[in-house]
Structure 1
Amino acid sequence: MRLFLPAVGVGLFLMAIDQLLAVATYARIGSELHALNSTSWIATSYFLTLTSFQPLYGKLSDIFGRKPCLLFAYAVFAVGCLGCGLARDIVQLCVARALAGIGGGGMNAVVSILTADLVPLRDRGIWQGYMNIIASVGTSVGAPLGGFLADSVGWRWSFLGQVPLCIIGFVAVYYVVDVPSPPHENWSAKIRQIDFLGALTLIAAVVALLLGLDAGSNLGWSHTLTVVALCLAPVVFAAFVLVEVRFAAYPFAPGHVIFDKSLFACYLVNFAASAAYIGVLFFVPLFFQAVLGASATRSGAYLVPAMVAVVIASVGGGWIIRRTERYYWITVLSMGLGLVAIVPLTVSVWFQDGLGEVAGTFLMALGYSAVVTTTLVGLIANSATEDMALVVASSYLFRSLGSSIGVSLSAASLQQVLRTQLAARFPDGDEAKKIEEGVRQSLEFIHKLSPWQAAQVKESYKLATLGGYGPTLIFLVMGFVVSFWIRERPLKK
């Protein structure tokens, strides 16, 4: 394990740094590409493929082996990062982010599956905490480093700089990780065991939902595209469930794994906590830059305390589980802590107090990180040994699904409030429409406005941020209530 952890740690570090490297620079990226109102797709395109492929890696690693899947993930992630750095418009950037998500899903899920293979359950919380520390170092460095690069050499180097690290990680895994290979079968037999239909229906369902939310906030909720997409989403989600339960010969999210009563509560808490935390994390830097006038570097630095909280909660949660062999009340209290965090977050936005935002994200990070550790232990404790890889991969399915939906719902709410506020404050003629379009595409446009107009725009962004926190509150309440249904099981595996 002393060799294993550093070898896979490169990938964990990269995936963590990638998620937050651009968080502090979304506003800068959107402004440069003249698509500030579409920056949520930079995150959702990544989480979309992350959502769809993480559970597939559970099955793929059973078929092709853990090590080949991990190496494949490194290679795809490197190509995706290269594409992000070379992108010339928002569409190219989102496509490259989606490709990086395919690799990122494997770098995360396969490492967790490998750890579950190698570590006794009662010690898994500790090792999960160690891995979370590596991830936390990445996220701690990611936000301020991304902001610094954006303010100095340009945001593109946030992505291009990851490519050499991917190569180092690939070589480390190739030479250090030595695990048994699955039984040899011909390639056609292995390919037939992959649930392509399930993956395609899941992608279609998530795309329909996110497209509908984005169209609603930008084109209007009565627009044909919005109505059609939002009506299709539940239908295609139902089709995905039907495929996994009835038709797929080798489902990556089988019904007995997803809908088991002892597992489903953990999945839902994972979903809710991820949706709330990532939704907040995505829009706090936008508030700092649009309302408080902070630079990308400062916006990233404000997130460092939250990343420290991730380390504290990850290690602390694993240590408590190891000492008490209990995870139920830690999960409940952690979700409650996240619910408390919404108070300083909203109050500080109203009074335009940056320190309150820092405190709120710190508390939110404490609750979220503890939940990630405790629910994973709870899932493994309640699962059959033969289903362990599928259960771990499915936990990442719910986590990344929560992340993508959380960001999209928050973005839709924020953009809707922003449009309404700007329309109310600038009601007259073509100039008002020009201001609305300009500030929703680039923050740099604010500097071209008169002092009165700029003040009105900042006030609109302030209220829009509060609107973006609305879905966060709903997810936190849902996660807190559902956490009481988690089942405590002895940690004997």
Structure 2
Amino acid sequence: MSLSERTRLLASPGDESEPIGPNSMESPKDNTGSTNNSTRLAIFIAYLGAFLASSDESVVIATYDVIASEFHELAKGPWLVTGSNLGYCIALPIYGTLADRWGRKLSMLIGYSFFGLGCLISSISSTMIGLIAGRIVSGAGAAGMAITISIIITDLAAPRDVALLRSYTNVVAMIGRGVGAPIGSIVVNSLGWRWAFAGRLPLIVLCLILSRVYFPSQHKETAEPQSSHGGSIKQLDYLGIATFATAIMALLLAMTVAGQDGGKRSHIYLWMVTFALAATLFVFNEILWAGRPLVPLRLATKGIGQYWLVELVLFCGRTGLVATITQYLTQVKRIPEATASMFLVFCTMGLAVGSMASGFAIQRTKRYKKRSIYAAVISVISSILLFFSWHFDHPVAESLLVIPMSTPIGIIISGEFIGMSNRAPPEILASSIGAYYLSQQLGSIMGAAMGPLIVRTGFKYDIAGRLNEQVETEIIRNVLRDAKYVNTLPEGIQRVVRSSLGYGYQFVPVLAMVTAALCVPSLVLTREQFVE
């Protein structure tokens, strides 16, 4: 999950702080202007929440095929990833209002509670529907954990420590995404997938208790009266949230039906029509009717929209690859799951290194445009090389190309954020940043659904006619239900099935290549902004 900062949530520098401990009268910032130990403990608790939220998605990406296979519903596996992102997108603006009006502490506690509830629901679910519902609830909780941490740092820390503590937030998120995949694979293979969710509950309960004790009871005072709280909640863009969720769910259902064996075209058309209607209503609502729009689409005509579009497209291609690379290595190349999940670490590390390197370079040179264009070209070339290399028998060496594919994306993301934040007028900067991160989440939702769909479609196309018709129908049905079914087949049939699966997987790097290439015109034509 992406951590976002909403500048409208920040209190004014002149506001006073509340005590940190339950009985402490100590100020978060001592007389020397330093951050005291109680404050550091409170921020550490928030970091632990950020770690849990960041590791959550990578755990599921690495193991969703194993989990869905136990229910014999592999086609619905991507919903475990997209469900969390969907819950995150829906809840994000709500937490913004909660943090502004009812305090950072309440916002964080609600986030932990929903995240823990989602993990509990997932761990005890006996159906895929229940498991997906748990993932949506977890995503809604992760949004609260992510959005509140930057606000808490600003409220509690000494001014001179804020920048450093915020940089630690990115490091914690990177570590969470990096270690989540291999640890999740080990837990799933040794203890079972339910423990991948239930095992987090003690940490979540610990965070809840510590947050209740060490976080300030109220956020900094504002000039608004308490009676305005209800009005603030009423001002939320409920129609926008409802139509956004309906459009995304309809699109995902259409992709799910399309990837199933025997999926009816009439159902696909029905869901696509629903998607079109909901998306149209969402656009009209955001432009014409919403007082506080979920996505301020009116800003798209002010030179901001292209930045959102680049994020959506980039994350679609990246997540499509990330959501399928471990399955490619285990199903086609027979690499152990724990080893295959390490490639998610490489993707995360590459993205983080690119982002940090770009940040340092922008700080030094005050330029980013040429670097972003070169990065997009490198990502396109790396995707092409990965496409060809997946036809050879060196799975470990060839798949290391995900590093030069991911690092340029980090460079582009950093440059685009700087460009957007410098181009957006100050009065709409917070809305622009919110839409920027929402675009990333929407791209992740689409990519997590499109990647597996491409694989399933390619597999069904390639295996057609290669086996006896009756055997072929049974194999297609079972392979699309259970990721490990191929291991139970005779060796000769295994070779055919793995070959057809490889045919489907080879188009995932093509998706990454196309999305990176689509960003080049925007990067070239958008004027570089002056960086102070």
TM-score higher than 0.5: yes
Larger deviation, residues 16-25 vs 327-336 = 327-336
2:521 to 462, 473, 481: 481
Return the alpha-carbon distance in structure 1 between the equivalents of residues 163 and 309 of structure 2. 20
2:198 to 134, 150, 160: 160
Partner in structure 2 of residue 291 of structure 1: 332
Q: 1:64 to 1:426 in 2, by over 3 A?
A: farther
In the TM superposition, residue 56 of structure 1 has moved relative to its aligned partner by 4.3
Return the alpha-carbon distance in structure 1 between the equivalents of residues 472 and 81 of structure 2. 30
Does residue 214 in structure 1 map to residue 252 in structure 2? Answer: no
Q: 1:63 to 1:195 in 2, by over 3 A?
A: farther
The one-letter amino acid of 1:299's match is: A
Larger deviation, residues 408-417 vs 482-491 = 482-491
The DSSP-based 3-state class of the residue aligned with 1:404 is helix
Partner in structure 1 of residue 512 of structure 2: 472
1:321-340 map, 5 Å:
321-340=362-381
Question: Does structure 2 retain, via aligned residues, the 8 Å contact 1:439–1:446?
Answer: yes
The one-letter amino acid of 2:504's match is: A
Task: Write out per-residue CA displacement over residues 324-369 of structure 1, whole angstroms, 9 at most, x where no aligned residue.
Answer: 3333334333333322321232122221432245322212221233
Task: Write out per-residue CA displacement over residues 431-488 of structure 1, whole angstroms, 9 at most, x where no aligned residue.
Answer: 3211111111113322321111111110011011013334333222222322234443
In the TM superposition, residue 11 of structure 1 has moved relative to its aligned partner by 2.4
Q: 1:220 to 1:116 in 2, by over 3 A?
A: farther
Return the alpha-carbon distance in structure 2 between the equivalents of residues 334 and 58 of structure 1. 33
Bigger Rg, structure 1 or 2: 2
Q: 1:57 to 1:364 in 2, by over 3 A?
A: farther
Partner in structure 2 of residue 190 of structure 1: 232
In the TM superposition, residue 298 of structure 1 has moved relative to its aligned partner by 1.4
Return the alpha-carbon distance in structure 2 between the equivalents of residues 420 and 350 of structure 1. 18
Question: Does structure 1 retain, via aligned residues, the 8 Å contact 2:354–2:410?
Answer: yes
Q: CA RMSD in A?
A: 2.8
Question: Does structure 2 retain, via aligned residues, the 8 Å contact 1:344–1:359?
Answer: no
Partner in structure 2 of residue 399 of structure 1: 440
In the TM superposition, residue 55 of structure 1 has moved relative to its aligned partner by 4.2
Instruction: Structure 2: give runs of 5+ residues left out of the alignment.
Output: 1-33
Partner in structure 1 of residue 309 of structure 2: 268
State TM-score, norm by structure 1: 0.90
Return the alpha-carbon distance in structure 1 between the equivalents of residues 105 and 293 of structure 2. 22
Task: Write out per-residue CA displacement over residues 298-317 of structure 1, whole angstroms, 9 at most, x where no aligned residue.
Answer: 11123333333233223222
The DSSP-based 3-state class of the residue aligned with 1:293 is coil
Q: 1:229 to 1:294 in 2, by over 3 A?
A: same
The one-letter amino acid of 2:198's match is: L
1:302-451 map, 5 Å:
302-429=343-470, 431-451=471-491
The one-letter amino acid of 1:213's match is: M
The DSSP-based 3-state class of the residue aligned with 2:400 is helix
The alignment covers a number of residue pairs equal to: 487
Partner in structure 2 of residue 249 of structure 1: 291
Task: Write out per-residue CA displacement over residues 140-162 of structure 1, whole angstroms, 9 at most, x where no aligned residue.
Answer: 11111111112211122222222
Percentage identity across paired residues of the two chains: 23
Higher relative contact order (CA 8 A, sep 6+): 1
Question: Does structure 2 retain, via aligned residues, the 8 Å contact 1:143–1:304?
Answer: yes
The DSSP-based 3-state class of the residue aligned with 2:310 is helix
Partner in structure 1 of residue 11 of structure 2: none
Larger deviation, residues 16-25 vs 54-63 = 54-63
Return the alpha-carbon distance in structure 1 between the equivalents of residues 500 and 384 of structure 2. 20
Task: Write out per-residue CA displacement over residues 6-46 of structure 1, whole angstroms, 9 at most, x where no aligned residue.
Answer: 34322221122111112222222122221222211111211
Larger deviation, residues 79-88 vs 345-354 = 345-354
Return the alpha-carbon distance in structure 1 between the equivalents of residues 69 and 455 of structure 2. 17
Partner in structure 1 of residue 5 of structure 2: none
Instruction: Structure 1: give runs of 5+ residues left out of the alignment.
Output: none
1:92-171 map, 5 Å:
92-111=130-149, 130-171=168-209
The DSSP-based 3-state class of the residue aligned with 1:425 is coil
Structure showing the higher helix proportion among its residues: 1
